[in-house]
Amino acid sequence: MNLQLVAELSKLICLNHNPAIPRIRHNDIKRTINGLLNRKSNTTVIKELSILTQSIKEQNKNKTILIVVLALIRRNLDCVDELSKLLVKYNLINPLFGGLKLLLSGGKSKTFTFQVKWSDDLFKNKYEWLERFKGEFHYWEFIELFQAIKIVHLVNPTNIEKLAKEDKTKLILLNMLTRSLNITPTDELIEWLLNDSDELNQNIGLAFITSKVSFAVSEILNYKRTNSHFGEEYNKQQRKIYIGNLKLLKCELPKIELFFGKCDDKTKVSLLVNYILSQREGHPSIFARWLIEADNQEHLISEIKNNGKLRTLRDILVLLSAISKTRRSKGETTNASKLPLYNAIVDTLIAFVKIRSSLYKWEEQEQNEFLDICAMLPKQSKKKLSRFLRQELETLAVSDIDRLLRYKIYLEDERKLQIINGMLNILNG
């Protein structure tokens, strides 16, 4: 083995990672790698690699070992156990870890780098993004890379969490989250994620601590929705599953509370809002109680008004329901104590109308959602909304002259008129 061979393997492996270059079929890659390696066994290749790297500087040594390991895995995806033993035998695990770190940490090298562009920047609610794209984190596209990560994990599990923290692509964390990597995060890693300045990392941490709860809540709601008419034995079995999920909730919720206790209030509120908005079918009632604690009110108002997470009437309805139907643990249970929250909701509704976003039509769905919203708003907040809507009516260009002279504006304001009248009919009804 020589460095020229390694360079050829590197070009071949990079073809698999560069979206700008057409992908080569798996069988063609395997055939080419076998040709470059003269069909040598993994044992022979790793032994030669060990000899070659003895005279190479550390950073280049790490790169060389990673390239060869990726090539061997691409040749045979099922060789992880064999490779891990060979790499341990020849003391090459640490250099492999170093190579992965160089590749994933976004270093300065233009020839040895790995970048993935995610779409999470299009989402204000990062937890929603995680839920929506849960099965699309490139596991099979970059399978040889993940197999190399598994090799390191088999030998030294703690190194993987170090690598995950420095991984600019977030591929490791995201595929831990989907359990593709079959690596369970430690409490230390989760705490680090929840307190990191990176908002996506915070929400990955949230997803880790709530995964069991989300499953249990879903199963409980499904049980309650189902009128079981499938026989006594079936019903008994479903009842056992239901009770088991209740026990799971009872066990997991104190753990989540401890994690949230280690976050600052702003992060805690942001994550709770993200979760409640995303898990629309239901959430543990205690989540809403944590959310509306008096100490959190300023942060919650900011979440409602400033962060763009409430995009539809449905979003407002979900969050308003959590606010209005939940008693505060400190005895502040009157509408008056929550009035700033209700007014923040109204301010968001006003923004929907004023800047003509998020509310584009007025049909049965919008009517029903707004009706439910109004049923939960106190009189004072509804009066504030009604007053704004009546004032807004006066600004609309919907006269016959407007239709003749400013037809485009007329069409927009006519639609807005329909929405405002629909809202006022419900508010005045």
pLDDT digits (tens, 9 = 90+) for 116-152: 889 999 999 999 999 999 888 999 989 999 999 999 9
Q: Answer yes or no: is pLDDT of 16 > 90.
A: no
Q: Answer yes or no: is pLDDT of 360 > 80.
A: yes
Q: Answer yes or no: is pLDDT of 166 > 70.
A: yes
**DSSP character at residue 22:** P
Q: Answer yes or no: is pLDDT of 390 > 70.
A: yes
Structure tokens at 121: 């920047």
143-163 mean pLDDT: 94
Judge whether 228 and 235 are in contact, CB under 8 Å. yes
The confidence band for 110, taking pLDDT boundaries of 50, 70 and 90, is: low
Q: How far is CA 180 from CA 135, 143, 151, in A?
A: 9, 10, 14
Q: Answer yes or no: is pLDDT of 113 > 80.
A: no
Q: Answer yes or no: is pLDDT of 239 > 90.
A: no
CA gap 39, 100 in Å, rounded: 25
Q: Within a domain: residue 80?
A: yes
Q: Within a domain: residue 63?
A: yes
Q: Answer yes or no: is pLDDT of 111 > 90.
A: no
Q: Answer yes or no: is pLDDT of 404 > 60.
A: yes
State the chain's mean pLDDT as an integer.
Answer: 90
Burial class (CB in 10 A: 0-12, 13-18, 19+), 301: middle
What domain count does the chain have?
Answer: 1
Q: Answer yes or no: is pLDDT of 94 > 80.
A: yes
What confidence score (pLDDT) does residue 225 get?
78
Q: Within a domain: residue 197?
A: no
Judge whether 86 and 42 are in contact, CB under 8 Å. yes
Q: Within a domain: residue 318?
A: no
Q: Within a domain: residue 304?
A: no
What confidence score (pLDDT) does residue 335 get?
52
Structure tokens at 202: 């915070």
What confidence score (pLDDT) does residue 22 get?
57
Q: Within a domain: residue 178?
A: yes
Supply the range of the domain harboring residue 71: 1-120+128-183
The single-letter code of the amino acid at 200 is: L
Q: Answer yes or no: is pLDDT of 324 > 80.
A: yes
Torsions phi, psi for 11 (to 5 deg): -60, -40
3 state SS of 83: helix
The better pLDDT of the pair 402, 311 is held by 311
What confidence score (pLDDT) does residue 134 get?
86
Q: How far is CA 191 from CA 23, 142, 206, 258, 259, in A?
A: 39, 28, 10, 10, 7
The confidence band for 363, taking pLDDT boundaries of 50, 70 and 90, is: very high
Percent of the chain with pLDDT over 90: 70
CA gap 216, 210 in Å, rounded: 10
What confidence score (pLDDT) does residue 106 get?
77
Q: Within a domain: residue 171?
A: yes
What confidence score (pLDDT) does residue 326 get?
87
Judge whether 313 and 370 are in contact, CB under 8 Å. yes
Q: Within a domain: residue 341?
A: no
